[in-house]
A and B are shown apart, each in its own frame.
Chain A
Amino acid sequence: MSNIVDARGLSCPQPVLLTVEKIKQLKAGKLEILVDTESALENVKRAVVDNNWTVDVVNAVDGEYNIQASKA
């Protein structure tokens, strides 16, 4: 149900690891990933694209990022 990965405050490679785990589990649909560093943002976006998902939108709020990804 909760398609949210909260990777805020986690060091490498946790944000990518958790994102990829969730992507494999979901196979398709919508996913939201929360991170709080620019490098985690870049790494997660790279992982999303590498796994053939799409980054739909990234919201930046007070130094935290909310990445919305999906696969049809």
Chain B
Amino acid sequence: MSIGRSFILLNSENDMKKNIFATRWGMIAVGLIIGVLASLLQYLGNPPNMGICVACFERDIAGAVGLHRAGVVQYLRPEVIGFVLGSFAAALMFGEFKARGGSAPFARFIMGVFAMIGALVFLGCPWRTVLRIAGGDGNAIVGLAGLIAGIWIGTLFFKAGYNPGRSYKSHGSSGLVFPLIMLGLFVLMLIYPQISGQNKSGVLFYSLKGPGAAHAPIIISIGAGLLIGFLAQRSRFCTMGAFRDLILFRQLHLLLGLIALLAAAFVVNLLVGQFNPGFSGQPVAHTDGLWNFLGMALAGLAFALAGGCPGRQLFLTGEGDSDAAVFVVGMIVGAAFAHNFGLASSPKGIGPNGAIAVIVGLVVCAFLGLTMRKKS
């Protein structure tokens, strides 16, 4: 170890108190806040059962910058920008910004691509899976089962020695790139704001109908995103880790946050009349159980191998983690493929090539999970 400024942190109790959000109650509080904000964002204009959906919103961003031309899902979601910048602020404030990278970046990119494809066959990331359940969508219970199955397969690879390898310290500026891109996108949105009745403003696309046209006011979206980004960086909130840690370590810590999110969103949905139980006719959802299950199984496996749910990956980019940034860009590119190649589902059912893409994705992830081992 290098010689340098060295100090001793006393016992674990003392320095755990330094970060109250890393405690059990801190995690529950963060889950509750995210759940309430998600339901309120929906109430204030975001799409139904989609107050926050990291995968859907990254897909909308891919559309807003024209990587795909699916007219109904194009909007530069400020929530995603807020997630990154809020986490970035927290990381700076608490001395946790550390530029790093180099842990199998291209494999992570591919995992991001397939995580997104799986999520778009189901129509939601783990966050939206829980929010759909909180809104009464029974199909999401099938999706949740798939998600857990995918994460469980991931834990088998971990037990068999899967290890994507180390990341290394990098130049500070390399960790700044992704947060700066997010800031740049937000500036672009201010320069080219939505013009009523037009599908383009400057270089940005804006949906005129469909989920992409449903959004809360920008100031509320960015504010909620910043707050969640800040809190999630402090608490390490992770929807994939919730199940992974339960399966792998019998540990409930992260799961408590996810349950809190579900409970809070459910209560707010009841209060504002957003709870509509059933399977058919659910908003931005389809009823094909097999592919709801397998789509989320693929997403869960990819998130598990990459070490974090799509939200957590965004929060890690705020800490300067370039590998997480590569995964996020993989998801955005995956969204473009999903819409350009007919892989994404719609309320009518799965896309013409969705099933084969999920199978290819499962094979690719299994290959990476089996072969990326490290003999230490």
Contacts and interface: CB of A to CB of B under 8 A. Distances in A.
The residue in A12, A60, A66 that gathers the most chain B C-beta atoms within 10 A of its C-beta is A12
Contacts of A17: 158, 248
Contacts of B195: none
Given A38-B96, A42-B22, A50-B251, A58 B8 contact: yes
Interface in A18-34: 20, 34
Interface string A31-51: 000101111001101110110
A14 B103 CA distance: 12
A17 B168 CA distance: 20
Contact of A9 (B4, B168, B253): B168
B2 A61 contact: yes
B164 interface: yes
A59 interface: yes
Nearest to A34: B1
Given A63-B98, A66-B1, A47 B236 contact: no
Contact of A49 (B5, B6, B12): B12
A20 B249 contact: yes
Contacts of A8: 166
B323 interface: yes
B100 interface: yes
Given A9-B100, A14-B163, A37-B98, A62 B2 contact: yes
A47 B12 CA distance: 12
B8 A57 contact: yes
B241 interface: yes
Contact of B6 (A16, A43, A46, A60): A60
Given A58-B15, A60-B7, A11 B307 contact: yes
A66 B254 CA distance: 24
B19 interface: yes
A9 B251 contact: no
Nearest to A63: B98
Contact of A64 (B1, B96, B238): B1
A50 B249 contact: yes
A17 B9 CA distance: 23
B249 A16 contact: yes
A39 B12 CA distance: 14
B323 A11 contact: yes
Given A42-B22, A60-B6, A12 B1 contact: no
B166 A9 contact: yes
Nearest to A49: B12
B123 to A, nearest CB: 26
A66 B163 CA distance: 21
Interface string B239-279: 00100110011010100000000000000000000000000
A61 B164 contact: no
Contacts of A34: 1
Given A9-B167, A13-B158, A16-B249, A62 B96 contact: no
B308 interface: yes
A11 B11 contact: no
Interface in B164-202: 164-169
Contact of B16 (A16, A42, A47, A63): A42
Given A11-B308, A60-B6, 20 more contacts: A9-B168, A10-B165, A11-B103, A11-B164, A11-B167, A11-B306, A12-B238, A12-B307, A13-B244, A17-B248, A36-B98, A37-B96, A37-B98, A38-B19, A38-B94, A45-B12, A45-B16, A60-B7, A62-B5, A66-B1
Interface of A: 8-14, 16-17, 20, 34, 36-39, 42-43, 45-47, 49-50, 55, 57-64, 66
Interface of B: 1-2, 4-12, 15-16, 19, 22, 94, 96, 98, 100, 103, 158, 163-169, 236, 238, 241, 244-245, 248-249, 251, 253, 306-308, 319, 323
5 contacts: A11-B103, A12-B241, A47-B251, A59-B7, A61-B2
